[in-house]
Amino acid sequence: NTMSLDWGYTDDNGPSTWAEKYPLAAGARQSPVDIDTSKATSDNSLVDREIDWSYPSNCSYRIVNTGYGWRVDTYGDDTALSGGPLSEVYKLEQFHCHWGATNDEGSEHTVDGKSYAAELHLVHWNSEKYSSFKEAASQPDGLAVLGVFMEIGNADNAELEKIISLIPKIIHKGQDSQASFDLDFGSLLPESKHYWTYLGSLTTPPCNECVIWTVFKEPITISERQLEVFRSLKSVGEEDAIEPEEGKLVKNYRPPLPLGNRVLRECGP
Ligand SMILES: COc1ccc(C)cc1NC(=O)Nc1ccc2c(c1)[B-](O)(O)OC2
Ligand SMILES: [Zn+2]
């Protein structure tokens, strides 16, 4: 049925099978990629227009279990992302995370072959040129996504804890909960604005090639306990009678695709 996902991260529906039903997944502008730092070129035009964001702390309104992870939906009206590789102002639509079964994998982008334990994606759309997120997701400059690496730290991440405290309410696919917490997005982004940028795609089906990616070099930290809560999410609905330990979303990352002849630009000290 429409609710059951025809793609996922298991051996029989994972990334290597996606192109069968989602042909874009086999394109030449796919994400994620391995960030080969020796290929990154610095670009003065990026330096001249510093990347800039503004998010009101109360812009989140719902958290949902999509079947392949959690996603926080946001009101974009008073948000703005601009500068850096972007020619227009983009609005925040949602943010979500990717992780792995163990701490030595989980990020989607890798840096010189190194994986991080998880990766946060803040998803924005070009509301200057297009009239909806859906329309923007079909355009080559439609979306702007900030990727933030997450590494294991001793302390809990207090801002992430506001999201994690709601996970027990959305254990099963399709469940959602009100998420009216005040979130300091500044704490979900690294101090350094050093980033890489390249043209890519959604990392999940339909894999549209519509994303201007900005991946920050400096990771933020998450605790092992917090990451375990992510892994307690289930990819199946409440009605899907399965064993308690089955259907856990222990990983939801797509491995890197070839950069091909795309330019990888770097900005920052
Ligand atoms: C079934 O999914 C859809 C149906 C209709 C539309 C218009 C869009 C989507 N999906 C979508 O936006 N995914 C999506 C959006 C943004 C990002 C990612 C996935 B990511 O690569 O993981 O990080 C950034
Ligand atoms: Zn993502």
What is the pLDDT confidence band of residue 4, given thresholds at 50, 70 and 90?
Answer: low
Q: How many CB atoms are located within 10 Å of the residue 172 CB?
A: 16
CA distance readout (Å), 29 to 87, 211, 254: 20, 9, 14
CA distance readout (Å), 201 to 31, 153, 247, 259: 5, 30, 27, 12
Q: What is the mean pLDDT of residues 228-239?
A: 94
CA distance readout (Å), 95 to 109, 119, 124: 16, 11, 9
At residue 2, does pLDDT exceed 50? Answer: no
Give residue-wise pLDDT tens across range 44-64.
Answer: 888 888 999 999 999 999 999
At residue 269, does pLDDT exceed 50? Answer: yes
Q: Can you tell me the ipTM of this complex?
A: 0.94
Strand, helix or coil at 96?
strand
Q: Which residues of 216-255 are buried (b: 16+ CB within 10 A; e: fewer)?
A: bbebbbbbeebbebbbebbbbbeeeeeeeeebbbbbbbbe
Which ligand 1 atom is the nearest neighbour of the CA of 32? 21
- Ligand 1: residues with CB < 6 A are 121, 123, 134, 137, 145, 202-204
* DSSP conformation letters of 60-91: EEEEEE-SSSEEEEE--TT-EEESTT-SS-EE
Looking at the CA of 145, name the nearest ligand: 1
83: alpha, beta or left? (left if phi > 0; alpha if psi -120 to 50) = left
Looking at the CA of 97, name the nearest ligand: 2
Residue 11 and residue 34: Cα distance in Å, rounded? 22
Among 8-12, 35-39, 59-63, 240-244, the range scoring the smallest mean pLDDT is 240-244
CA distance readout (Å), 265 to 121, 195, 208, 213, 237: 19, 8, 21, 10, 41
Per-residue pLDDT at 44 = 86
Q: How far is CA 250 from the centre of its chain?
A: 16
At residue 241, does pLDDT exceed 80? Answer: no
Looking at the CA of 7, name the nearest ligand: 1
202 CA to middle of ligand 1, Å? 6
What does residue 187 show for φ and ψ, rounded to 5 degrees?
-80, -10
- Let me know: does 237 contact 170? Beta carbons within 8 Å: no
Give residue-wise pLDDT tens across range 156-192.
Answer: 999 999 999 999 999 999 999 999 899 999 999 999 9
Give residue-wise pLDDT tens across range 55-96.
Answer: 999 999 999 999 999 999 999 999 999 999 999 999 999 999
Residue 212 and residue 83: Cα distance in Å, rounded? 12
At residue 8, does pLDDT exceed 50? Answer: yes
- Let me know: does 188 contact 148? Beta carbons within 8 Å: yes
35 CA to middle of ligand 1, Å? 22
For ligand 1, pick from 108, 123, 213 the residue to mutate: most ligand atoms within 8 Å of CB: 123
The model's pTM is 0.96
